[in-house]
Copies of this chain bind each other. A is one copy, B any other.
Amino acid sequence: MSKCQQCIIRQFNSLKHLSKEELVRVSACKTSKIVKKGEYLFEEGTRINGIFCIKDGICKVSKMSENGRNQTINLIKKGDLIGERSLISDEPSNLNAIALNDLEVCFIPKEEIIRDLKSNPTFTMSVLNDLAKSLKNSDNFVVDMAQKTVKQRLAETLIKLEDKFGTNDAGIINLQLSRDDFANIVGTATESAIRLLSEFKKKELLEFKGKEIKILNPKGLEKIAQGFS
């Protein structure tokens, strides 16, 4: 198994603040696994007892509402850590993590990381920083969900996806989501997501062929996200 010390991925997250010795220890007790597209990395209600470092692939973080509908909270990509909350509280996870495409992850047990948290303040501050950023994102997300229309939210989602995952040479967003995935991110019915995507296409804000989406007029989408429509 590859060693954390040599893993380039750690440069993208808090693990970069670990010393060489700490990394060696972490490396010794980590495990790796592959999660196939559509399978769970972890499930709501289970204890995860450690953090996952995403080496490759994209992971959808979601939660069931009491209404029985699924809401996607976040998309996690290569280089991100997930499961930080399990370090702190002993409660089972309140979230699902599902592979959107084949996922390569490392798992570091809780005790190991806690040991580092207690001894390495720089590492701890970095983890605090991550949580703080997530919290800010989440708060902003609440405001959007509460105050924006479905159309605004979909426009915003498209912009954010392009930002986060980039495009290929042809300008197509480097992430293929089903209409249902879009609906679950935006918090709407699948039919509504489909209709709005078609509307955006008709208005030449974007074009798509199946799941391949290319944004043609980002400014226009931005306007819509801000409520000018």
Closest Cβ of chain B to A45, distance in Å, is 14
Interface of A is mostly: helix
- Nearest-CB residue, chain B, relative to A95: B139
Interchain CA distance A210-B144 in the complex, whole Å:
30
Number of this chain's copies in the complex: 2
For the complex, count residues of A whose C-beta is within 8 A of B.
46
1/0 per residue A107-145: CB within 8 Å of B? 000000000011101001101110111111011111111
Contact yes or no, A143 B226, CB < 8 A? no
Contact yes or no, B136 A71, CB < 8 A? no
Interchain CA distance A143-B68 in the complex, whole Å:
11
Contact yes or no, A89 B147, CB < 8 A? no
Closest Cβ of chain B to A190, distance in Å, is 14
Interface window among A15-23, A27-35, A59-67, A193-201: A59-67
Closest Cβ of chain B to A52, distance in Å, is 16
Interchain CA distance A141-B225 in the complex, whole Å:
21
Closest Cβ of chain B to A92, distance in Å, is 11
Contact yes or no, A136 B65, CB < 8 A? no
- Nearest-CB residue, chain B, relative to A134: B135
- Whether a CB of chain B sits under 8 angstroms from the CB of A24 is no
Query: Within 8 Å CB of A143, what residues of B?
Result: 63, 65, 71, 73
Interchain CA distance A148-B88 in the complex, whole Å:
29
- Nearest-CB residue, chain B, relative to A118: B121
Contact yes or no, B227 A67, CB < 8 A? yes
Interchain CA distance A143-B142 in the complex, whole Å:
8
Query: Within 8 Å CB of A142, what residues of B?
Result: 71, 73, 138, 141-142, 145
- Whether a CB of chain B sits under 8 angstroms from the CB of A94 is yes
Contact yes or no, B65 A148, CB < 8 A? yes
Contact yes or no, B121 A85, CB < 8 A? no
Given contacts A69-B147, A87-B128, 7 further A-B contacts (CB under 8 A): A66-B225, A85-B132, A89-B133, A94-B136, A117-B124, A118-B125, A141-B142
- Which positions in A face B, CB cutoff 8 Å? 63, 65-67, 69, 71, 73, 84-85, 87-89, 94-95, 117-119, 121, 124-125, 127-129, 131-136, 138-148, 152, 186-187, 225-227
